[in-house]
């Protein structure tokens, strides 16, 4: 598999074939299958954020052994590589060890970690790539529940917005002519009549944003521009906070 350049977000010297790369023989870090699977998932999701660092002096990988393994797992043919100057073997070894060891010394702000994690979980982000084992994740979130009484916590995005109100009026048409006349008058296009042309008929329903109805009922009042509303309705993902009108045909069920 060859990735498009859009998937590579980091600076690199060139895209090198995987077969060209040589792992450092003295690399002390061993990577488990789980770790490589997580990293592969991360690369698939957010792309390449770091290149594999190769020494121009020895041609060995200095940083990015796990990334190489993840690329092999993903069956990639080329990977982004940054070729860097190292003055001596000693410099290479220092970088090789420190690159993995120094990040281990970081101390995590667990409150912040929980907050970020809660947001990701609320969006159903896959947690596989984050490097958390299920038990670890459960422990992290359970602590939050105990500490802050999560079961009573408010999620702002879930709360009712000011004036938000979903309600509807149902219109019923007993005759095809009236129904099609209403469709035309209300500007409903793209009607799939295949549903009602079946032998066994059922009622046909459509939903219209309430603001569009109001603009047609009251064209001379207010500053609502029906054409603008129609445009808005077509381009918006969802109508917000207005009555909908539902018009079924003569229901046979």
Partner 1 sequence: MCTDQERPLYEAALGNQVKEYAEIPHSLLGMANIRNWIIDHFPEDCMFMLDDDLEGLDVRTHEKSRFIFDPQIIEQIIDNTYICARDAGARVFGFGVDHQVMHFRANRPFVVNIWTDQGWGVIGKDLRFDSRMTSRSNVDFCVLSMMKDRIVWIDDRYCWRGIKRGNIGGLSAYRTSERDMANGRYLERKWGKYLHLTMKGACSGISVAVPRQQPGIPSSRVS
Spatial separation of the C-alpha atoms in residues 212 and 226, rounded to whole Å: 7
18 lies in the site for partner 1, by CB under 8 A: no
Total residues contacting partner 1 by CB under 8 A comes to: 49
- For CA atoms 9, 18, 94, 30, the dihedral sign is positive
164 lies in the site for partner 1, by CB under 8 A: yes
Cβ-Cβ contacts under 8 Å for 32 (sequence gap 6 or more): none
Among 160, 174, 177, 234, binds partner 1 (CB under 8 A): 160
> Which 97-126 residues touch partner 1, going by CB under 8 A?
121-126
189 lies in the site for partner 1, by CB under 8 A: no
Q: Which lies closer to partner 1 via its Cβ, residue 36 or residue 63?
A: 36
184 lies in the site for partner 1, by CB under 8 A: no
Q: What is the residue-wise DSSP string for the chain?
A: ----GGGB-S--SEEEEGGG-B--TT------HHHHHHHHHHHHHH-B-SPEEEETTT-BEEE-HHHHHHHHHTT-SEEEEEEE--SSHHHHHHHHHHHHHHHHT----HHHHHHHHHHHHHTT--SGGGT--HHHHHHHHHHHHHHHTGGG---GGGSPPTT----EEE---SSHHHHHHHHHHTT-----GGGTSSSS------EEEHHHHHHHH-TTSTT--HHHHHHHHHH-SS--S--EEE-------
146 lies in the site for partner 1, by CB under 8 A: no
246 lies in the site for partner 1, by CB under 8 A: yes
| Binding range to partner 1, per CB under 8 A, among 26-34, 55-63, 171-179, 206-214 | 206-214
130 lies in the site for partner 1, by CB under 8 A: no
Among 6, 85, 102, 152, binds partner 1 (CB under 8 A): 152
Among 113, 136, 145, 225, binds partner 1 (CB under 8 A): 145
Q: Which lies closer to partner 1 via its Cβ, residue 92 or residue 209?
A: 209
Q: Which lies closer to partner 1 via its Cβ, residue 18 or residue 74?
A: 74
Among 135, 163, 174, 227, binds partner 1 (CB under 8 A): 163
Spatial separation of the C-alpha atoms in residues 13 and 16, rounded to whole Å: 9
182 lies in the site for partner 1, by CB under 8 A: no
157 lies in the site for partner 1, by CB under 8 A: yes
Q: Which residues sit opposite 169 in a β-bridge?
A: 245
238 lies in the site for partner 1, by CB under 8 A: yes
128 lies in the site for partner 1, by CB under 8 A: yes
Task: Provide the binding-site residues for partner 1, judged by CB under 8 A.
Answer: 121-128, 134, 141-142, 145, 150-155, 157-158, 160-161, 163-168, 170, 192, 195, 198-200, 202-208, 236-240, 244, 246, 253
């Amino acid at each position: 598999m060859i990735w498009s350049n859009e998937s590579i977000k980091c600076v690199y010297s060139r895209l090198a074939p995987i077969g060209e790369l040589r792992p450092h023989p003295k690399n002390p870090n061993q990577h488990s299958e789980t770790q490589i699977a997580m990293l592969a998932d991360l690369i698939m999701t957010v792309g390449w954020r770091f290149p594999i660092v190769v020494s121009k002096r020895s041609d060995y990988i200095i940083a990015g052994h796990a990334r190489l393994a993840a690329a092999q797992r993903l069956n990639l043919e080329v990977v982004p590589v940054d070729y860097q100057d190292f003055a001596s073997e000693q410099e290479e070894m220092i970088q090789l060890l420190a690159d993995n060891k120094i990040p281990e010394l970081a101390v995590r702000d667990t409150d912040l970690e929980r907050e970020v994690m809660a947001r990701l979980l609320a969006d159903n982000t896959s947690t596989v790539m984050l490097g958390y084992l299920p038990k670890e994740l459960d422990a992290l979130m359970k602590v939050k529940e105990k500490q802050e009484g999560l079961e009573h916590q408010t999620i702002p995005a879930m709360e009712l917005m000011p004036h938000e109100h979903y309600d509807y009026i149902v219109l019923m048409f007993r005759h095809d002519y009236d129904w099609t006349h209403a469709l035309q008058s209300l500007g409903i296009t793209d009607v799939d009549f295949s549903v009602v042309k079946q032998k066994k008929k059922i009622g046909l329903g459509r939903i219209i944003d309430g603001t569009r109805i109001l603009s047609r009922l009251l064209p001379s009042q207010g500053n609502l521009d029906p054409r603008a509303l129609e445009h808005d309705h077509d381009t918006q993902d969802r109508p917000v906070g207005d009555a909908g009108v539902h018009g079924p045909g003569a229901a046979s069920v």
